[in-house]
Amino acid sequence: MTLRVLVVEDDQAIRSMLQSTLAVEGFEVQTAVSVSEARALLRHAPPDVVLLDLGLPDGDGSELVRDARQQTGIAVLVVTARHQESEKVKLLDAGADDYLTKPFSVGELLARIRVALRHRGTALSPAVTVYESDGLHVDLAARRVEARGLPVHLTPTEFELLARLVRSAGKVVTHRQLLADVWGPEFVDHTHYLRLYMGQLRAKIEQKPDEPRYLLTETGVGYRIAAA
């Protein structure tokens, strides 16, 4: 089955570049130049992935994210310029799957689409319980973590934090989502918890905590565990 991508972008040059690039990769590409056009398309022919540009002329896109959320199995990737942190975090919190910062390379774009498609429908399929990547092994069911073949002892909070990232492996998880899921909704503003616990986690798991391989920082947005 051909996977369908909806590109929502008002700039003609970027739109046609994305269209041809994705078509070459075997996707069926639809395009929309505005949020309203995209919503209409979403209803008629639901795509598998939506590439949503921030800063469209007719709206901020959060309604589109909400629409896409209501139809299971649609992944939403937000495309932003740098310095639009607050908007992109808002869309991620609203349910967008991931984001890309302009200017991005085609390689980056395809990698993000692959990760987003892998997670699509996680609500239906059994949740990810095992993470295995290049020397790091995490088994959520057995609560076991091994780095470079050696068992790692984690505190319950550290484990919860790692588990939350593992369940979305390869995808960015915003500060807010992490704080709400690990500590509880009343702690969504306590970003310093994250800084401290991520520091401790990296110290236990990473070989070189100041240049992490697994626990990646998305500056100003959140964290991501490297795609398995």
Partner 1 sequence: MNAVAPSGGPTDARKVRDAWVVCGLLAAATLVNLLLDRYVSVTSQAMIYVLAVVVASYTLGWLPSLFSAVAAVTLFNFFFIPPRYTFQVEAQENLFALFAMLAVALVISHLGTALRRETEAARMNERRARQLQELATDLAAATLPAEVHLLAQRHLGRAFPGPCVVALLDAHGNLQLQPEQESSYRDGMLACIREAATLGPGTGRWPGLHAWYLPLRAETHTGGAACVQNVSAYDHSGREHAQAICAQAGQALWRLKLSAGMHEAQEQSQWHRAQSTFLAAISHDFRTPLAAIMGAASSLQTQRDRLPPPQQERLLATILSESRHLATLTENTLQLGRLDHAGDLRMDWESVEEIVGSVLARVRQRDVAHRIQSRVPAALPLIKADPVLLAQLLENLLDNALKYSAELIELEVALKDHRIELAVHDRGDGIPAGEVLAIFEPYRRGDRSGQRGAGLGLAVCRAIARAHGGELSVHARPGGGSTFMLELPVDVAQPATESA
Which residues contribute to the site for partner 1 (CB under 8 A)? 82-83, 85-86, 103, 105, 157, 183-184, 187, 190-193, 195-199, 202-203, 208-212, 216-220
Residue at token pair 């890309």: 100
Q: Is 110 in contact with 98 (CB distance < 8 Å)? A: no
> What minimum distance in Å lies between the beta carbon of 217 and partner 1?
4
> What minimum distance in Å lies between the beta carbon of 146 and partner 1?
22
Round to whole Å and give the CA distance between 62 and 79. 13
**The dihedral sign for the CA sequence 10, 13, 16, 19:** negative
112-123 burial by CB neighbour count: b if 16+ within 10 A, else e?
A: bbebbbbbbeee
> What minimum distance in Å lies between the beta carbon of 82 and partner 1?
6
> With respect to partner 1, which residue has the nearer C-beta, 6 or 194?
194
Show the DSSP H helices in the chain as ranges: 12-24, 35-44, 62-70, 85-94, 106-119, 156-167, 175-182, 191-205
> What minimum distance in Å lies between the beta carbon of 156 and partner 1?
11
> What minimum distance in Å lies between the beta carbon of 29 and partner 1?
23
DSSP bridge partners of 91? none
> With respect to partner 1, which residue has the nearer C-beta, 73 or 209?
209
> With respect to partner 1, which residue has the nearer C-beta, 117 or 227?
227
φ and ψ at 209, to 5 degrees? -60, -25
> What minimum distance in Å lies between the beta carbon of 150 and partner 1?
19
Question: Tokens at residue 106, please?
Answer: 């085609």
> With respect to partner 1, which residue has the nearer C-beta, 72 or 155?
155
> With respect to partner 1, which residue has the nearer C-beta, 128 or 183?
183
Candidates 55, 63, 56; CA nearest to 94 is 63
> With respect to partner 1, which residue has the nearer C-beta, 44 or 192?
192
